[in-house]
Structure 1
Amino acid sequence: MLRSVGQKQVTGSAEDPRVAELRMAVSRLRRELAGLRAEFPDRPIAEDELAALDAMAVGGVPEIPRMRRSLLLIAGAIGSVSALAAALREVRNAVDLFGEPPRG
């Protein structure tokens, strides 16, 4: 797993390593959310925003403000579900690889 924007890509693929990290993190959280039997009112919001993040990642380098908005909505929707905390943290770390959105 990549932990820094400065790390080099090690495969022959042309995919941005940050995008690969985001796709892996989103995939893990989606799997864990799907496997969670407990129902909670904001689950559809989390599922929709995870789908949006995945679509952005598939499309190449995602738009940073939109990614951060999705992350906030996901965190708000599942933040109290402790079973998903580690996977949510991975998504946050993957989004952070893209840096801060431009200010102003």
Structure 2
Amino acid sequence: MLRSVGQTRVTGRGNGEDPRAAELRAAVARLRRELAGHPADFSDRGIAEDELAVLAAMVAAGDPEIPRMRRSLLLIAGAIGSVSALSPGLMQVRTAVDLFGDTPPRRP
């Protein structure tokens, strides 16, 4: 199977799961739980929930696209960035996304 630049297979490494995928899965699950339990209603909550679902689906499929992961992270941060109670969970997701490396530079 051909993959475009920025895609990395994250399942089936030897006999176990890619540790980056496990870290991202755990971080996304934590932030989803924290967001679901947060009492305040804010206008961009749905955006954060949708993008967390996108990240979870990419990891579950085993073929996350790094540029799309970074876009989701940016949208989540913009949606919940001002809710300080969710900051630690957001940072955990960011750290997990960063484990996948940088986005390759765009070609001119």
TM-score, normalising length from structure 1? 0.86
Q: Rg: which structure is higher?
A: 2
Unaligned runs of 5+ in 2: 1-13
Q: Tell me the SS of whatever aligns to 1:80.
A: coil
> Which of 77, 80, 88 pairs up with 1:78?
80
Report the 3-state secondary structure (helix = DSSP H, G, I; strand = E; otherwise coil) of the residue aligned with 1:25.
helix
1:55 to 54, 57, 76: 57
In the alignment of these two chains, the number of paired residues is 93
The one-letter code of the counterpart of 2:18 is: D
| Regions of 4+ moved over 2 Å | none
- The Cα offsets for residues 30-57 of structure 1, whole Å up to 9 and x where unpaired, read as 0000000100000000000000000001
TM-score of the pair, normalised by structure 2: 0.83
Measured in 1, the distance between the counterparts of 2:63 and 2:92 equals: 18
Identical amino acids, percent of aligned pairs:
72
Q: CA RMSD in A?
A: 1.1
Residue type of the partner of 2:48?
A
Could you tell me how far apart the structure 2 residues matched to 1:63 and 1:50 are? Answer: 14
